[in-house]
Amino acid sequence: MVEVTVPSPGESITEVTLGTWRKQDGEWVEKDELLNEIDSDKATLELLSPAAGVLQVNAKSGSEQKVGALVAKVDEKAPRPAGAAASATKKPAATAAAATKTASRGAPAPVPPSTADAATARVSGVAKKVAAERGIDAARLAGSGPSGRVMKVDVEVAAASSAVGGGGAFSASAAPSGPRGVRREKLTKLRLKIAERLVSAQHTAAMLTTFNEVDMSEVIRLRAEHKAEFEKSHGVGLGFMGFFIRSCVSALQKFPRANAYLVNDEIEFHDYVDVGVAVGTERGLVVPVLRSVQAMGLADAEKALRDVATRARDGKLTVDEMTGGTFTISNGGVYGSLMSTPILNPPQSAILGMHAIKKRPVEDPHNPGQIALKPMMYLALSYDHRIIDGAEAVGFLVHVKDCIENPGRLLLGV
């Protein structure tokens, strides 16, 4: 037997959550075949089969496991089935085991209609007593409790319906109609960590947010004019995020406190800029970090962004790639958000929130007093007031606005 143990997702992580088994107990697996996905508070790792053979599952899906814990074994000496068909080696109990795993993930177990005992088990003790008093067959009711359990209120509703209908005994048509299911889903390690960090940021930092709006006309014009040539030359698309990354680098160099940490009674300044970019994934929000972006051009920033965003959605990021960062950019505009208040990513002191681009009537800067329809975006800068004064925060956001509205500043470095 070859043991399958929980690998370490990274330093300081001691406990993980076991995902859904891709292969059932007793099935044939090939070497390096995906068996499970392990979820930690920082990353998701794939658990691969160390050898070819018959799988023996030792831990349930969704269970909490320590790093190094034994979760399965592979019998490499088992005979390979004809055509390597996994179903040929499945144990008779595999189907029942799969049902048990499904139930353990929170899905309600089916109730066989022909089994009276099983149906009765779905009825709470109080509901049974009330049902008996009122002559109602509680086993035939649709339950509103956890996993479809029949509660007292379900019996009372059925009794009231029967009374209104004028009938004596309860009929099936009197049961409450419409879905009333309730289910619980265990928070993933990643989601728990996100919650912990966001609550911590609100409790420990003196967080304020300042807003401004930016005219995207010039960036949109440049993008439309040079997009094809840019992609042909650099092998990557020209998006809006690259302009904002470069604009933030310029602003952070002018307002270094927005790129600093508060460490006890000292301010830790950084002569480099590591930008965290918030990326939404199926497992939750992750913030991969682009290192030393002050040394990147527009094309380099776009390439680095595409790489980390793709691997973030595929769950391929390492813990190191999501650690650190001196500043964060969050783009809620991709989901249609018009305005929001981004929350700090500790121990950082500032975060920029981008939003949806909408055409709005504004004064034309080239023709004072004249109104024009412009593609506008609201910007939000949340900052730690313990480090950054209001004037600095406003100045930072105005600098970003000026860079976006006059992209030539980025080329000139002003």
CATH code: domain of residue 90: 2.40.50.100
Q: 13-27, 247-261, 275-289 — which one is most confidently predicted on average?
A: 247-261
What is the predicted pLDDT for the residue at 113? 43
DSSP 348: B
Annotated catalytic residue 389: yes
Residue 124, CA distances (Å) to 130, 174, 175 in order: 10, 20, 17
Are 60 and 142 found together in one domain? no
User: What residue has token string 């499904």?
Assistant: 102
Confidence of residue 414 (pLDDT cuts 50, 70, 90): low
CA distances from 1 to 50, 73, 77, 78, 296 (A): 11, 6, 8, 9, 51
Residue 181 belongs to a domain? no
pLDDT band for 149, please (50, 70, 90 cuts). low
In angstroms, the CA 102 to CA 30 distance is 24
Does 214 fall in a domain?
A: yes
Which residues neighbour 328 within 8 Å (Cβ) at sequence distance 6 or greater? 275, 276, 277, 278, 287, 342, 345, 348, 350, 351, 352
pLDDT at 102: 41
* Residue among 74, 21, 27, 35 nearest 51 (CA): 74
As given in the structure block, the two tokens for residue 25 are 């107990």
CATH of the domain at 236: 3.30.559.10
Confidence of residue 335 (pLDDT cuts 50, 70, 90): confident
Using pLDDT thresholds of 50, 70 and 90, give the confidence band for residue 272.
very high
Check residue 8 and give its pLDDT. Answer: 79
DSSP classification of residue 175: S
Nearest to 191, CA basis, from 312, 52, 285 = 285
DSSP element (H, E) containing 396 = helix 390-405
Question: Strands 266-268, 275-277: parallel, antiparallel or unpaired by DSSP?
Answer: unpaired
From 150, 174, 198, the end of a domain falls on: 174
> Does residue 276 have a pLDDT over 90?
yes
In a domain, 180, yes or no: no
Looking at the fold, whether 121 and 204 belong to one and the same domain comes out as no
pLDDT at 83 over 80: no
70 and 41, same domain (yes or no): yes
pLDDT > 90 in the chain, percent: 43
Question: Is 402 inside any structural domain?
Answer: yes
The residue among 201 and 121 whose pLDDT is bigger is 201
Cβ atoms of residues 395 and 255 within 8 Å: yes
Is residue 111 assigned to a domain?
no
Average pLDDT rounded to a whole number, residues 176-204: 75
Residue 274 covered by a domain:
yes
Q: Is residue 133 part of a domain?
A: yes
Segments forming the whole domain that contains residue 156: 116-174
130 and 11 housed in the same domain = no
Which of 76, 104, 132 terminates a domain? The answer is 104
DSSP-assigned beta bridge partners for residue 358:
376
The residues, ordered by sequence, that sit 6+ positions from 249 with a Cβ below 8 Å of its Cβ are: 273, 275, 293, 294
Instruction: Verify that 159 and 211 share a domain, yes or no.
Output: no
Give domain status of residue 241, yes or no: yes
Whether residue 22 sits in one domain with residue 78? yes
Q: Are residues 384 and 315 in the same domain?
A: yes
End position of a domain, from candidates 73, 104, 135: 104
pLDDT average, residue stretch 42-69:
86
Nearest Cα neighbor of 405 from 376, 380, 383 is: 376
Average pLDDT over residues 171-197: 69
> Is the pLDDT score of 373 beyond 80?
yes
- Determine the pLDDT at residue 84: 64
> What is the rounded average pLDDT of the residues 133-142?
84
Number of CB atoms found within 10 A of residue 186's CB: 14
Examine the residue annotation and report whether 203 is marked as an active-site residue of this protein: no
193 with 79, same domain: the answer is no
Residue 316: the pLDDT is 84
Long-range interactions of 392-397: CB distance < 8 A, separation 24+: 392/255, 392/257, 392/258, 393/208, 393/210, 393/258, 393/350, 394/210, 394/212, 395/254, 395/255, 396/251, 396/252, 396/254, 396/255, 396/258, 396/350, 397/210, 397/211, 397/212, 397/251, 397/352
- Whether the link from the prior residue into 368 is cis, omega within 30° of 0, is no
User: What is the pLDDT at residue 114?
Assistant: 42
Asked whether the predicted pLDDT for residue 46 surpasses 60, the reply is: yes
Catalytic residue among 203, 274, 389, 399: 389
For the chain, what is the mean pLDDT?
A: 82
Q: Do 231 and 124 have their domain in common?
A: no
Distance CA 181, CA 52 (A): 41
Assessment of whether the complete model's pTM goes beyond 0.75:
no
**pLDDT band at 141, cuts 50/70/90?**
confident
Do residues 91 and 141 both lie within one domain?
A: no
Amino acid symbol at 221: R
41, 270, 385, 399: which one is catalytic? Answer: 385
Q: Are residues 213 and 302 in the same domain?
A: yes
What is the residue whose two structure tokens read 């509703």?
Answer: 157
Looking at the fold, whether 319 and 375 belong to one and the same domain comes out as yes
The winner for highest mean pLDDT among 11-20, 106-115, 120-129 is 11-20
Number of domains making up the chain: 3
Average pLDDT of the segment spanning 290-306: 93
